[in-house]
Amino acid sequence: MEKRIDLHTHSIFSDGELLPSEIARRAHVLDHEAVAITDHVDASNIESVGKIINTVNDLRDNWDISIIPGAEITHAPVEVIHKLAVKARKLGAEIIVVHGETIVEPVIEGTNFTAVNSSEVDILAHPGLITVEEVEIAKDNDIALEITSRRGHSLTNGHVAKLALEVGTNLVMDTDTHSPQDLISYETACRILSGAGIPDDEFNKILRTNPSRILAKHGLLN
């Protein structure tokens, strides 16, 4: 089985159903190389980033899977996204995701643009009907765009994939896991990428190479 990396999941510390250890165990069984726990944060709960650090250290020491503490900045005013990203990083978040302008939620207009202009952001999640300009900025600032398996958010996967491939912006494929059944295998992830119109020769790059680059940038993988 091919290994993959998922950099967007949620635990009981936001709106997920699973403990961080259960996310890790289920990902391990699916042969993931690494999984990031990126609970939703804004200014009201950003200190929760630190709650999983001890668990992450325990899992890293004892299981053959890299567990990455992170944060997903969600529905925050665009004026404070960068500030929150900086604070989350200081609190121990090693991966910073921004909740993009999905078409199935009333995300504030300008979130995508602000996220791809932040030096602290690693991934713009489910960016909806992202513009060519924003895709180009993401490329220039080395911010990955997300293809997602999450219901609703995945409706614009084809649009995101088409623009990213044309511009040359890095893509990653995440699950946005909230429930036990949300984590998926490498093979299922490949089918989702195919459904988004992505050619086969891009699959491993999106599922492993690009997320590995993000982790390596922060010194998180050998």
What is the pLDDT at residue 210?
98
What is the pLDDT at residue 1?
62
Judge if pTM exceeds 0.95. Answer: yes
Amino acid at 19: L
Which residues of the chain form beta strands (DSSP E)? 4-6, 32-37, 40-41, 66-73, 95-99, 123-125, 144-148, 171-174
With bands split at pLDDT 50, 70 and 90, how would you rate the model's confidence at 58? confident
What percentage of the chain exceeds 70 in pLDDT?
Answer: 99
Distance CA 3, CA 149 (A): 17
Residue 30, pLDDT > 90, answer yes
With bands split at pLDDT 50, 70 and 90, how would you rate the model's confidence at 64? confident
- Residue 201's CB: how many other CB atoms inside 10 A? 7
CA 37 centroid distance within chain: 9
Reading the block at residue 105, the tokens are 């939620």
Average pLDDT, the chain: 96
Residue 56, pLDDT > 90, answer no
Reading the block at residue 215, the tokens are 């982790």
With bands split at pLDDT 50, 70 and 90, how would you rate the model's confidence at 222? low
Residue 50, pLDDT > 80, answer yes
With bands split at pLDDT 50, 70 and 90, how would you rate the model's confidence at 53? confident
Q: Which domains does the chain have, with CATH numbers?
A: 4-217 (3.20.20.140)
List, for residues 161-202, the tens digit of each pLDDT value: 999 999 999 999 999 999 999 999 999 999 999 999 999 999
Mean pLDDT score, 104-122: 98
